[in-house]
Amino acid sequence: MGCVGSKNQGEEPPKKEPKKDDRPNKPKEDGKKAENGKDEPKENGHKPDGSDKPGDGSDDDKNKAQEEKVDPISPGDVEEFYKFGKEIGKGGFSVVYKATERATGKKYAIKRIQKDEEGVDIELLKREIYIMKKVDHPNILKLFEVFEDDDYFFLVLELVEGLELFDKIVDRGNYSEKDAANIVKQILEAVKYLHEEGIVHRDLKPENLLSAGEGEGEVVKVADFGFAKNFGEEKLVTSCGSPGYVAPEVLTEDSYTNAVDMWSVGVIIYILLSGYPPFYDESPPKIFKKITEAKYDFDDPVWDDISDLAKDLIRKLLVKDPSERLSAKKCLKHPWITGGAVDKDVKGSLIRLQEYNKVRKKEKGQVDK
């Protein structure tokens, strides 16, 4: 999801005096009900009966989906409620600003998306907004409210004072399997929650993972729900995702399930531990061929220092048959996640990851500052 900047990009908009704050979707204090009177999402997404199954498409599920699909747009001008600060990020179709809520002084990130920019799909954007408004989990980037005018959408997001996950890792002086397991556990918690809520992300990759904090206090956030979808509504058939992270069935089958996210998690773990992707070649078609064959290995010497438990988890995720792939819930019970990860520096992997990150950013057209 993205947008381009305005003509006065980077400049702070003129000050406006706030009006009476009657926004139904305004940010709320933790532990309170939303301003529209609806309860907060269930903790960790668990259903009352303790099951972890998504909606089965029944009338109750459909009615619930319709009830939750309320208008997420807050009334009024975004500048009445937020003071824009400096530009802190930019994508193909979006500009992100640091902003301050005028009434409270709290800091947020506001993503501005131009409606008429070529490549911006309004319907996909609205779906992303509905999904992000629905979810509430500590390992998922929070969307608080949305404003709209004739030219732009403005998404008021949680401000993460950190970096993309891989940028954060390569900045470290040391890095261990235990560090990787802590990161993966948080990604799995987010994916488990999404799947329990009937949502498939479909584009899990390094660029969509943010990191803030240090050591044991590091928090990983899953972001960018541009390809996300409620998989209880209809079959998943669209071929989408990013080369290198997309699951085999997305390329070869008529439809697929939320297991595609688990394949992507397997790819991320592989890269975190080795510093290079399991499926790589000169062109996407060659990459896709390797993916459809699930052709990868642990032959590189860098894997000599990686535990068998870590390799076991990867093998149970990068499996061609999605029905044999571990779910997020089962992954969280895997011994490598629950405490079996080795607390030993993997210097070779970190060096390789630094090189991979440079190549990845170069391919995206980014340059290091």
Q: What is the pLDDT of residue 293?
A: 92
Say if domain 163-364 classifies as CATH 2.40.160.40. no
Alpha helices, H only, the chain = 59-68, 78-81, 122-134, 165-170, 177-196, 248-252, 259-274, 284-292, 308-315, 328-331, 335, 347-364
pTM over cut 0.85: no
For 220-278, write each residue's pLDDT tens digit. 999 887 667 666 555 444 544 567 888 898 888 777 889 999 999 999 999 989 888 99
The owner of tokens 């498409």 is 57
CA 87 from chain centre, in angstroms, equals: 21
Where are the CATH 3.30.200.20 domain residues in the chain? 54-157
For 60-106, write each residue's pLDDT tens digit. 444 444 444 556 688 889 999 999 999 988 776 789 999 999 999 99
For 326-364, write each residue's pLDDT tens digit. 999 999 999 999 998 988 887 777 777 777 777 766 666
The mean-pLDDT minimum among 27-31, 74-78, 89-93, 320-324 falls in: 27-31
Where are the CATH 1.10.510.10 domain residues in the chain? 163-364
DSSP 3-state of 256:
strand
The owner of tokens 């391919």 is 363
Asked if 203 is an active-site residue, the reply is yes
Q: What is the pLDDT of residue 308?
A: 95
Q: Cα–Cα distances in Å, from 132 out to 106, 162, 319?
A: 20, 20, 30
- pLDDT class for 59, splitting at 50, 70, 90? very low
Mean pLDDT over 163-186 rounds to 84
> Taking 70 as the threshold, does the pLDDT of residue 367 lie above it?
no
Fill in the amino acid letter for 264: S
Look up the CATH superfamily of 54-157.
Phosphorylase Kinase; domain 1 (3.30.200.20)
Strands 209-212 and 199-200: unpaired
Out of 203, 281, 299, 304, the active site residue is: 203
Q: What is the pLDDT of residue 25?
A: 64
Rounded-to-integer distance, Cα 322 and Cα 315, Å:
12
